[in-house]
């Protein structure tokens, strides 16, 4: 038997080859296409279903201008954001979405949302999920039943100082527009304990509030851990919170259409509905899939009327933005 020995030159050559293989192995993942998004825009189940040639990357959330400036310098193919981030979006940094087989599947609310955006811009935006703002109560069964009909319940005297409202003035104003009475916006603001939807569940679970207004995607999962909680999606409709995709100009990657369609069909569809994320498809398909959920989740989706009465926020020009700011400032209680 011969004994294998390595001379100095062979050893160096082997080291170089090993280094090359190591570099190659490390670089393989970085060659995958990148979907980047802030935390909470899409459920984890959707992200885990991405095709093997894609990976996702969570982005740090800063101010809107800084968000785009800092992140568009990175190697990113797709960005998923909430529609509230479109106001400061540098659309020239994104290319048109090529998704002819996807657009016919969109429901009327998704098409209406796109139609509310400038046509040159809307061609670069693809809505892939939506979550309505809803009311979540801790106990208070009587008020919860009222809330299934109307947002007017938030003005009930019993709730004064026990309401957590969204931090977005535009969402609060849109809810006040659904209410009756003299200056409902001023009265609604007077009901608030805090404008803090980010920590709304903490306020509620700790007993420091009786009701919070939150996106369904944030609060639905809490039903499984706390039987005291109840969610109401008012029959008169709600503001809609859209999740959209944008493709960067420098990306050579085609849209992962099969992945998008997968999130809109069974079995993944049921998992996403359980997290409060609704695909922008015909509502009858959502109702059918929701029948596979536990009853405490199911009833939330069994109101097509509530969804049809819901509304999206369109883009604002500077004059409209200033008018809303003036309205908000003058409504301080």
Residue 273 lies in a domain: yes
Give the domain CATH number at 93.
3.40.190.10
Q: Are residues 154 and 199 in the same domain?
A: yes
Question: Are residues 53 and 97 located together in one domain of the fold?
Answer: yes
Same domain, 100 and 224: no
**Domain assignment present for 22:** no
Q: Is 129 helix (H, G, I), strand (E, B) or coil?
A: strand
Helix, strand or coil for residue 262? helix
pLDDT value for 67: 78
State the average pLDDT over residues 34-52.
Answer: 95
Tens digit of pLDDT for each residue in 184-229? 999 999 999 999 999 999 999 999 999 999 999 999 989 888 888 9
**Nearest CA-CA partner of 109 in 270, 245, 306:** 306
The pTM (predicted TM-score) of the whole model is 0.87
Alpha carbon distances (Å) from 165 to 25, 37, 190, 260:
49, 25, 11, 32
Which residue segment(s) compose the domain that 183 sits in?
Answer: 133-238+316-330
192 within domain boundaries: yes
The full DSSP string for 165-233 is E-S-HHHHHHHHTT--SSSHHHHHHHHEEEE-GGGHHHHHHTTS-SEEEEEHHHHGGGGGT-TTEEEE-
Q: Are residues 325 and 220 in the same domain?
A: yes
Q: Do 224 and 298 share a domain, yes or no?
A: no
Same domain, 223 and 105: no
Q: Pick from 278, 233, 273: which is nearest to 134 by CA? A: 233
Q: What pLDDT is attached to residue 225?
A: 84
The answer to whether position 200 is within a domain reads: yes
Within a domain: residue 97? Answer: yes
Q: 230 and 189 in one domain? A: yes
């Amino acid at each position: 038997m011969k004994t294998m020995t390595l001379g100095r030159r062979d050893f160096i050559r082997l080291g170089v080859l090993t280094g090359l293989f190591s570099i190659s192995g490390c670089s393989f993942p970085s060659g995958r296409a990148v979907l980047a998004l802030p935390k909470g825009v899409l459920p984890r189940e959707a992200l885990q279903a991405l095709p093997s040639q894609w990976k996702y990357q969570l982005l740090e959330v800063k101010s809107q201008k800084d968000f785009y400036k800092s992140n568009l310098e990175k190697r990113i193919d797709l960005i998923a954001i909430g529609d509230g981030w479109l106001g400061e979006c540098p659309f020239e940094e994104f290319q048109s979405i090529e998704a002819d087989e996807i657009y016919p599947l969109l429901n009327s609310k998704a098409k209406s949302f796109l139609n509310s955006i400038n046509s040159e811009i809307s061609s670069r935006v693809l809505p892939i999920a939506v979550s309505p703002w809803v009311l979540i109560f801790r106990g208070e069964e009587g008020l919860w039943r009222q809330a299934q009909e109307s947002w007017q319940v938030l003005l009930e005297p019993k709730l004064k100082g026990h309401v957590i409202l969204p931090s977005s003035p535009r969402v609060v104003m849109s809810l006040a527009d659904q209410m009756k009475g003299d200056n409902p916006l001023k009265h609604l603001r007077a009901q608030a304990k805090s404008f803090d939807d980010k920590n709304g569940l903490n306020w509620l679970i700790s007993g420091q509030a009786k009701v919070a207004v939150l996106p369904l995607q944030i609060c639905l999962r809490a039903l499984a851990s706390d039987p005291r909680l109840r969610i109401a999606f008012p029959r008169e409709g709600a503001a809609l919170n859209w999740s959209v995709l944008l493709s960067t100009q420098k990306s050579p990657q085609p849209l992962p259409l099969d992945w998008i369609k997968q999130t809109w069909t069974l079995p993944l569809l049921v998992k996403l509905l359980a997290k409060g994320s609704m695909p922008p498809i015909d509502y009858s398909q959502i109702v059918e899939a929701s029948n596979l959920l536990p009853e405490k989740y199911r009833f939330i989706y069994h109101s097509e009327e509530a969804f049809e009465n819901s509304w999206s926020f369109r883009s604002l020009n500077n004059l409209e933005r200033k008018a809303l700011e003036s309205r908000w400032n003058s409504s301080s209680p």
